[in-house]
Amino acid sequence: MEQFIEALKTLVLLVDLQSSFTVRYSSSIAALARDIAAEMFESRFDFFVMYIAGFIHDLGKLKTPVEILHKPGKLTRSERYVMNLHASNTFKFLSKYSNLDEFAAIASLHHERLDGSGYPWGLKGNELGMRARILQVADVFTALTENRPYRKGMSNEDVLRIIEGEVDKGRLDGDVYRVLKEMVKNGYRISKDEVVFAEFFGDMEECEAVRKVLKRVS
């Protein structure tokens, strides 16, 4: 756990150097991934894993040059190559902490697709577990609904249609999509600054340390 908190501190330090929307985005996908998991899994540990994996999924972007990260227009082929390295960089950053192996593996799979067309490793089908599938859907939904410096966010309904199209093409998981669709139908809103660590940590001192770190990034 000490390693975990240290890793989060590193994350905060590095994220502080980046644009603020990356931080807001990471909090949003973390909350959404956790809330989808809460609909699909029984174990609170799964909610926790999804929350952390969501929070750190784009950590590898800290290695992406800012001019590529914030380029308003279409990326060139070589820029896209550099941009796409962020997923495997997330794994490289995190996998050196043995306690974070599980989070690192899930987090780094958020751009993989079930038909093998994703990156960084082109995994497909059964190679992608339900946790990774949840993160993939949560990533698309969060990214497209949020405003970015270079474009306005789309409506929930429009984004759900896009995700449905990806499900039809065999790229995103249909069960996760249906759970998300139901959540949105019932008025679900991503709570961007909600921090729910308290319920996962028995040790309040550790919990407070994590809260302090998260307060700085939210």
Closer to Fe ion by Cβ: residue 58 or 146: 58
Catalytic residue among 9, 61, 63, 192: 61
Copy the structure tokens of residue 202. Answer: 């028995």
Site for Fe ion (CB under 5 A): which residue of 33, 53, 55, 58?
58
Closer to Fe ion by Cβ: residue 58 or 112: 58
Q: Are 114 and 128 in contact (CB under 8 A)?
A: yes
User: Segment near Fe ion (CB under 5 A), from 37-45, 58-66, 193-201, 204-212?
Assistant: 58-66
Closer to Fe ion by Cβ: residue 35 or 58: 58
- Least Å distance between CB 26 and Fe ion? 10
Q: How far apart are CA 130 and CA 172, in angstroms?
A: 11
- What are the two backbone dihedrals, phi and then psi, of residue 152, each rounded to the nearest 5 degrees? -85, 150
- Least Å distance between CB 133 and Fe ion? 15
**Owner of token pair 């997330």:** 90
Number of residues that bind Fe ion (CB under 5 A): 1
Peptide bond into 149 cis (omega under 30): no
- Residue 142: partners with Cβ closer than 8 Å, 6 or more residues away: 25, 28, 29, 32, 190
User: Segment near Fe ion (CB under 5 A), from 1-9, 55-63, 66-74, 159-167?
Assistant: 55-63
Closer to Fe ion by Cβ: residue 136 or 156: 136
DSSP, collapsed to helix, strand or coil, labels residue 131 as helix
Q: How far apart are CA 43 and CA 37, in angstroms?
A: 9
User: Is 61 designated active site?
Assistant: yes
User: Segment near Fe ion (CB under 5 A), from 30-38, 50-58, 65-73, 153-161?
Assistant: 50-58
Active-site residues, by number, are 61
State the residues that interact with Fe ion by CB under 5 A: 58
